[in-house]
């Protein structure tokens, strides 16, 4: 009888916890989304998505502007201006992607608003080309359908970005695996990512290695591997605060020592990064590995996850 009572009590506690804090996904048992509570991991994942996406949008506007406006889509309004009206070449160029003030669905089914203004010294694939991107209230959101008890529940995963990104084409550089790849070096001295439940501020430096597709004119076959070092602060709506830093994994026992982006997918597709953070109020530190997918993953989804306290916490990327 005591055992039955204990089991019933534990079951009730787990049920109440899941209803109050998390929304169960229809994955394997014990997997939860982080929809209703701020997670540093989710905000950091959103920042990685934003940086990769902003860089991609600038490249796409230069090379394949027509992609944005298929099926009669108006936004973004793209302008390309010479930095000096008297210069003979188009470069250096001021490129503006204006997504408007209202949140409107775009070419990749994402919802966007805000503006990206980029000063580009020369064609982005030229060695030593520099891009200075001023990101102004750039909002993006993914509307993710999720079926619970046969009902389609749509989760809106979103973030708002304000930052200055500096992107330099370093040409062929020796990567982590001693292979030379075309490489972009990206830094941000001060960046902010806001979600409905909280925000993070951070600085970052990273290398983006083009392992495939750099020499072709289209983006569909582009594949990149990314290594990084980031750090900053986080806070939620309940005045909880954290300090954090982010880095690549050093041990193959932990996972892949990079995260990857295939341009034919709208989200980061594979790899791992290690997040260390400290709850300032509680003075409690912890480390979690954010997983974007296995190296041989062929599916394209916006799901990422991490393990904590025996649970696999799943969250969606914007």
Mean pLDDT calculated for residue range 208-228: 94
Position 51 pLDDT exceeds 90? yes
Q: What angle do CA 75, 78, 84 make, to 5 degrees?
A: 160
Position 300 pLDDT exceeds 90? no
One-letter-per-residue 3-state SS of 116-170: EEEEECCCCCCCCCEEEEEEEEEEEEEEEEEEECCEEEEEEEEEEEEEEEEEEEE
In a domain, 5, yes or no: no
| Residue pointed to by tokens 């580009």 | 120
Residue 35 pLDDT level (bands cut at 50, 70, 90):
low
Task: DSSP for 56-103, please give it.
Answer: HHHHHHHH-GGGGGGGG--PSEEEEEESSTT-SSS-SEEEEEE--SS-
In a domain, 180, yes or no: yes
In a domain, 125, yes or no: yes
What pLDDT does 7 receive?
42
CB 38 within 8 A of CB 199: no
In a domain, 16, yes or no: no
Mean pLDDT of the chain: 86
In a domain, 161, yes or no: yes
What pLDDT does 17 receive?
35
In a domain, 42, yes or no: yes
Mean pLDDT calculated for residue range 67-75: 89
Q: Are strands 31-33 and 311-316 parallel, antiparallel or unpaired?
A: parallel
In a domain, 1, yes or no: no
What pLDDT does 260 receive?
92
When comparing pLDDT for 156 and 61, which is higher? 61
Give the lowest-confidence range in 73-82, 220-229, 295-304. Answer: 295-304
Q: How far is CA 63 from CA 75, 108, 151, 292, in A?
A: 17, 17, 41, 28
What pLDDT does 148 receive?
65
When comparing pLDDT for 116 and 175, which is higher? 116
% pLDDT > 90, the chain: 65
Cα of first residue to Cα of last residue in the chain, in angstroms, is 48
**Domain total of the chain:** 1
Domain, as residue range, for 223: 23-316
What pLDDT does 29 receive?
42
Task: DSSP for 2-61, please give it.
Answer: HHHHHHHHHHHHHHHHHHHH-EE-SSSTTEEE-TTS--HHHHHHHHHHHHHHHHHHHHHH
Query: Among residues 171, 162, 168, 201, which one has the least CA distance to residue 186?
Result: 168
pLDDT digit string, tens, across residues 118-174: 999 999 999 999 999 999 999 999 987 766 677 766 778 899 999 999 999 999 999
Mean pLDDT calculated for residue range 276-295: 91
Position 278 pLDDT exceeds 90? yes
CB 128 within 8 A of CB 140: no
In a domain, 6, yes or no: no
pLDDT digit string, tens, across residues 18-33: 333 334 333 444 455 5
The residues, ordered by sequence, that sit 6+ positions from 67 with a Cβ below 8 Å of its Cβ are 60, 107
What's the predicted TM-score (pTM) here? 0.86
């Amino acid at each position: 009888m005591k055992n039955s009572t204990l089991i019933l009590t534990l079951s009730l506690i787990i049920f109440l916890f899941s209803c109050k804090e998390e929304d169960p996904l229809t994955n394997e048992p014990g997997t939860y989304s982080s929809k209703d509570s701020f997670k540093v991991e989710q905000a950091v994942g959103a920042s990685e998505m934003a940086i990769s996406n902003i860089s991609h949008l600038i490249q796409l506007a230069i090379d394949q502007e027509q992609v944005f406006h298929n099926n009669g889509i108006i936004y973004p309004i793209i302008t390309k201006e010479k930095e000096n009206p008297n210069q003979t070449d188009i470069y250096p160029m001021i490129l503006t992607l204006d997504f408007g003030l209202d949140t409107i669905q775009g070419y990749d089914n994402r919802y966007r608003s805000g503006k990206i203004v980029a000063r580009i010294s020369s064609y982005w694939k030229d060695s030593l080309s520099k891009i200075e991107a001023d990101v102004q209230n750039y909002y993006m959101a993914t509307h993710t359908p999720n079926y619970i008890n046969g009902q389609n529940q749509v989760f809106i995963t979103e973030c708002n970005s304000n930052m200055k990104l500096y992107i330099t084409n370093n040409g062929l550089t020796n990567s982590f695996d001693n292979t030379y790849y075309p490489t972009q070096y990206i830094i941000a001295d001060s960046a902010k990512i806001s979600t409905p439940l909280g925000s993070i501020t951070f600085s970052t430096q990273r290398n983006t290695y083009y392992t495939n597709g750099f020499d072709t004119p289209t983006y569909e076959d582009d594949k990149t591997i990314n290594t990084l070092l980031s750090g900053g602060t986080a806070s939620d709506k309940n005045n909880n605060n954290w300090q954090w830093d982010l880095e690549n994994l050093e041990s193959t026992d932990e996972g892949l020592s990079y995260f990857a982006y295939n341009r034919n997918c709208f989200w980061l597709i594979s790899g791992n990064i290690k997040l260390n953070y400290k709850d300032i109020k509680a003075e409690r530190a912890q480390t979690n590995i954010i997983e974007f997918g296995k190296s041989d993953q062929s599916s394209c989804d916006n799901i990422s996850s991490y393990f904590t306290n025996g649970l696999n916490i799943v969250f969606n990327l914007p």
